[in-house]
Structure 1
């Protein structure tokens, strides 16, 4: 695949994900992964597609890969936290979301932290 073709496929996968068609996005990403699996942006998009198709373990692995490339990626920490939350791993989720909210103190991240804290409090964990 040419560089131009890789970029085009990546953009198409982004569009499909925005249209809530994660399985199609994953299919379009396959050739991109052959040539650019080591790119954080590719792993992040892959993780999001896995997340939205409820392939949570795969999403977790993709987000962890992004964090291997860049431990300061606050968005990767947030979506990793959300992924862990959907798996019922609330304490792990809270740790990631807390880090994300500390790194990037915006209302959406603070709300996510408040939500996870409420879930933990209700379950008595």
Structure 2
């Protein structure tokens, strides 16, 4: 076995009191950062189901949308993100994520307004690049079609 063949596998994370929304958020976020959306969804879904009024927990719902995006469950992500954007139109992350989900579904005309708003609201270069990419794709489509 060479040095390049070595693979580090992190153990599962278990925290006491994980049923609390704050703990579920921390653990879910950590799992998503570690590219483990299936495991994150299990924790997030359980926390949303257990907590009274947790369906209004935008933090957990954003994590759920992120997990759906990572798993390419784009329709579920779109539904969650549309609800989040409707409830909070100034949520830059949800708006940008909705634009990206629509883009991944090749619904560029629908994606562009969300990406434009996110870019203007945030001033983030990554948001602007996403907007420019979709604008360019639409121009190419118009030139070829």
2:29 counterpart residue number? 14
Classify the secondary structure of the residue corresponding to 1:37. Answer: helix
CA distance in 2, matches of 1:107, 1:75: 14
Within the candidate set 81, 84, 87, 1:69 is matched to 87
2:65 counterpart residue number? 47
Asked whether the equivalents of residues 19 and 47 of structure 2 are also in contact (C-alpha less than 8 Å), the reply is: no
Structure 1: runs of 5 or more not aligned? none
Q: How many residues align?
A: 124
Report the CA distance between 1:106 and its aligned residue. 2.0
Asked whether the equivalents of residues 18 and 24 of structure 2 are also in contact (C-alpha less than 8 Å), the reply is: no
CA distance in 2, matches of 1:71, 1:16: 27
CA distance in 1, matches of 2:107, 2:46: 32
CA distance in 2, matches of 1:6, 1:77: 23
Report the CA distance between 1:16 and its aligned residue. 0.7
CA distance in 2, matches of 1:3, 1:39: 16
Matches for 1:30-45 after TM superposition, within 5 Å: 30-34=45-49, 35=51, 36-45=54-63
1:94 counterpart residue number? 112
Q: Structure 1 residues 75 and 6 mapped into 2: Cα distance closer, same or farther (>3 Å)?
A: closer
TM-score by length of 2: 0.79
Deviates more, 1:2-11 or 1:98-107: 2-11
CA distance in 2, matches of 1:116, 1:93: 8
- Superposed CA offset, 1:44-88 (max 9, x none): 111000001000010011111211221111111100000000011
Q: CA RMSD in A?
A: 1.7
TM superposition outliers: structure 1 runs of 4+ over 4 Å: none
